[in-house]
Amino acid sequence: MSLNVGVIGTGMIGQDHIRRLTRVLSGVTVVAVNDMDQARAQAAAPAGAKVHPTPDALVADPDVQAVVICSWGPAHEEQLLACIAAGKPVFCEKPMVTSEAAALRIIEAEVAFGRRLVQVGFMRRFDADYRRLKAVIDTGTLGAPLMYYSKHRNASVPEGLYTSDMPLNDTLVHDADISRWLLSDEVTGVEVRVPRRSSRGKDLRDPVLVLLHMASGALVDVEISVNIGYGYDIRGEVSCEAGVAALPNRPAAVVTDAHGIRQAIPEDWRERFIEAYDQEFREWIVAAGQGTATGPSAWDGYAATLVADAALRAVDSGRLEAVGMIAKPALYS
């Protein structure tokens, strides 16, 4: 039995996910697509897939058993609520939503439905390197984690489309989520410092330095640079009581020539996390086939949204901004 999926948003990552759902993974068929740019949807639709005029029409299509949302962050709330109302499992790219109030509405709807339907696209949790790093920390042999250094460097971002708030409410959500997951901890406060701007991003607030205060007392230091130019460079190092555990350098051929000895680094997130995206969908397909969801939840989407909101407040106030969560509903325990 193949899971029939509809994809909303056929831009960069929508096209990449359609490629993996049609050419890489088994047990799944893309039967419908939608994009507010109809021509883009037409071009991205796999052979035989319907092109729906609206997201609502796609969600209501009786042939669509589960939905993948790859539209822009501000559009996610309405599309997620439509999926929950229809009782259809849904994979939603990050950020789940772009405000605390919207995140609470998703949680309220899913809790009222009574079963998990939402998986959020925090693909780092499915990356083999991050999984090995977490396994080391979880054994406890290095003692308690005290500090985590997260480097999040993009070669470039789309000019005009990527705004100054986005390092904090679009990019930082990955670091917020992976910090909570790696350290099995919660963020209680956020500070932001803005150093000298990179001239490569023109007027963009880039880079930013973020300090996450965790409930355990651990501190997480995050560098977000979105116009570093040389490639997509993701690093992580956890400093514990009795040792340090870090992500490894990515395997790549060692090239020696007149310029020296070097290894290529990924161009962008598609290349760096290719296996992680495959794995997050493998696990999503299994759960969605059973009418539910596993992996990063609406609760995790909510937690990351709170960090983004606090970071935006912190950049204006220059102070430590508190993060306060509601009591965790039993659905997410």
Footprint of ligand ISE on this chain (CB under 6 A)?
A: 94, 154, 157, 170-171, 174, 226, 269
Q: Quick one: which H or E segment has residue 66?
A: strand 66-69
Other CB atoms within 10 Å distance of the CB of residue 280: 25
- Give CA torsion, residues 28, 31, 35, 38, to 10 deg: 140
How far is residue 125's CA from residue 297's CA, in Å, rounded to a whole number?
Answer: 12
Q: Smallest gap, in angstroms, from Cβ of residue 58 to ligand NAD?
A: 9
> Are the C-beta atoms of 176 and 212 separated by less than 8 Å?
yes
The residue among 91 and 269 lying less far from ligand ISE, judged by its C-beta, is 269
How far is residue 185's CA from residue 147's CA, in Å, rounded to a whole number?
Answer: 12
Query: Which residue is nearest to ligand ISE, using beta carbons?
Result: 171
171 binds, among ligand ISE, ligand NAD, none (CB under 5 to 8 A by kind): ligand ISE
40 binds, among ligand NAD, ligand ISE, none (CB under 5 to 8 A by kind): ligand NAD
Other CB atoms within 10 Å distance of the CB of residue 278: 14
Footprint of ligand NAD on this chain (CB under 6 A)?
A: 8-14, 34-37, 40, 55, 70-73, 75, 93-94, 121, 123, 170, 269
Q: At what angle do helices 73-86 and 100-113 cross, to 10 degrees?
A: 10
> Are the C-beta atoms of 180 and 300 separated by less than 8 Å?
yes
Q: Smallest gap, in angstroms, from Cβ of residue 267 to ligand NAD?
A: 13
73 binds, among ligand ISE, ligand NAD, none (CB under 5 to 8 A by kind): ligand NAD
The residue among 11 and 291 lying less far from ligand NAD, judged by its C-beta, is 11
Q: 36: helix, coil or strand?
A: coil
Q: Smallest gap, in angstroms, from Cβ of residue 283 to ligand NAD?
A: 15
Q: Smallest gap, in angstroms, from Cβ of residue 289 to ligand ISE?
A: 26
154 binds, among ligand ISE, ligand NAD, none (CB under 5 to 8 A by kind): ligand ISE
Q: Smallest gap, in angstroms, from Cβ of residue 1 to ligand ISE?
A: 31
The residue among 28 and 276 lying less far from ligand ISE, judged by its C-beta, is 276
How far is residue 186's CA from residue 299's CA, in Å, rounded to a whole number?
Answer: 12
88 binds, among ligand ISE, ligand NAD, none (CB under 5 to 8 A by kind): none
Q: Smallest gap, in angstroms, from Cβ of residue 317 to ligand NAD?
A: 25
10 binds, among ligand ISE, ligand NAD, none (CB under 5 to 8 A by kind): ligand NAD
The residue among 12 and 326 lying less far from ligand NAD, judged by its C-beta, is 12
Provide the token pair at 295.
């992996």
CA angle 7, 305, 231 (to 5 degrees): 70
CA angle 300, 153, 172 (to 5 degrees): 25
How far is residue 88's CA from residue 67's CA, in Å, rounded to a whole number?
Answer: 7
Q: Smallest gap, in angstroms, from Cβ of residue 303 to ligand ISE?
A: 17
The residue among 72 and 332 lying less far from ligand NAD, judged by its C-beta, is 72
Q: 74: helix, coil or strand?
A: helix
> Are the C-beta atoms of 18 and 33 separated by less than 8 Å?
yes
The residue among 73 and 89 lying less far from ligand NAD, judged by its C-beta, is 73
